[in-house]
């Protein structure tokens, strides 16, 4: 059965260009490099605490 309300919920608001510089980069993608950097930082932090 086709659920109209469910379909409507899939629609996301459109984005304009009236956004600040901070907002522009705030919800950007986190890539593999970011993850590895986080892991390395975490590991280095553990070593330091020991």
Asked if 25 interacts with another protein (CB under 8 A), we say yes
**Tokens linked to 18:** 């009236």
What the block records as the tokens of 13 is 């608001």
Residue 40 within binding range of another protein, rule CB under 8 A: yes
What is the total count of residues that contact another protein (CB under 8 A)? 27
- In angstroms, what is the minimal distance from the CB of 14 to another protein? 4
Integer CA distances (angstroms), 24 to 14, 36, 40, in order: 14, 24, 27
Question: Where do contacts with another protein occur on this chain (CB under 8 A)?
Answer: 2, 4, 7-19, 24-25, 28-34, 36-37, 40
């Amino acid at each position: 059965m086709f659920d109209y309300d469910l379909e409507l919920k899939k629609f996301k608001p459109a984005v304009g260009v009236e956004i600040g510089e901070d907002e522009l980069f705030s919800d950007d993608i986190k890539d593999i490099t970011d993850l590895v950097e986080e892991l390395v930082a975490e590991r280095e932090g553990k070593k330091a605490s020991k």
